[in-house]
Amino acid sequence: METSHELNYLDSARKLFGYYRELGNKALAQIDDEHIHWQPSPESNSVAIIVKHLNGNMRSRFTDFLTADGEKPWRDREAEFENDYANKEELLAAWSEGWACFFDAVNPLTDRDLDKIVYIRNEGHTVLEALSRQLAHYPYHIGQLVYLCRLLAGEKWQSLSIPKGGSQAFNDEKFAQEKQRKFFAEKR
C-alpha cells in the first residue's frame, strides 16, 4: 500500500517535471529557426545546445532506469555541446524524444521503487534521490532556455508567468478564492 507521503513525492515530482517541460514548450514556440543557434558569447550555450544536452541526459539517465547505470556507454556528452541541429523541427523532435524517454521511465514508478538503488557513474542513488537530482538539473537548464528564448523573441515575447504589472491582479484573483490544496500550475 502506498503512503500519502510517498505518493505525494511521486505525484509532485511528475507534476513539476511536466510544468518545466511545458515552460520549455511555451518558450520554444516563441522562437524561429534562425534563433536556435544564437549564442550570447562563444562560451555560452544556444537554445539548440541546451535542448541537445537535455535530450542526451534524459535518454542516458532514463533508458533502463532501474537496471542500468544512468551514464550509458553510448552517450557522447561532449557532442551535446555542438550546435548542429539542422532546424527547429529537428530540435523539437529531440526535445520530445528526451521527455518521452523520461516520462516512460518515471510514470510507472510506485512507492516500492523510491528506495531502490540506481547508479549514475557508479554512484548509488535511491530513486527518490535520482529524481531529485534531475529535478534540480532540468529546471536549471530550462531556465537558461527560457531566458534565451525571451531575448530572441524580443517584443513579441508572451510572458510564461505573471506579466510585469500583473502581480496585484493575480494576487487579488488568488485571494478571492477559498483556500484549497492543489498544484500551483494547475488550472481550475
- Round to whole Å and give the CA distance between 135 and 46: 21
Helices (H), the chain: 4-28, 47-62, 88-106, 127-153, 167-175
The enclosing domain of 43 has a CATH number of 1.20.120.450
**pLDDT of the chain, 188 residues: tens digit per residue:** 444 544 589 999 999 999 999 999 999 999 999 999 999 999 999 999 999 999 999 999 999 999 999 999 999 999 999 999 999 999 999 999 999 999 999 999 999 999 999 999 999 999 999 999 999 999 999 999 999 999 999 999 999 998 889 999 989 988 999 998 888 877 65
70 within domain boundaries: yes
Where b means 16+ CB within 10 Å and e means fewer, 119-149 reads: ebeeeebebbbbbeebeeebbebbebbbebb
Residue 166 lies in a domain: no
pLDDT value of residue 183: 80
pLDDT for res 6: 46
Q: Look at residue 169 and tell me if it is in a domain.
A: no
In a domain, 185, yes or no: no
Residue type at 116 in one-letter notation: K
Q: Is residue 121 part of a domain?
A: yes
Cβ(91)–Cβ(32) under 8 Å? no
Number of domains forming the structure of the chain: 1
Alpha carbons 163 and 84: distance in angstroms, whole number: 33
Q: Is residue 41 part of a domain?
A: yes
Print the domain residue range for 76: 4-161
Does a structural domain hold residue 96? yes
Q: Judge whether 175 lies within some domain.
A: no
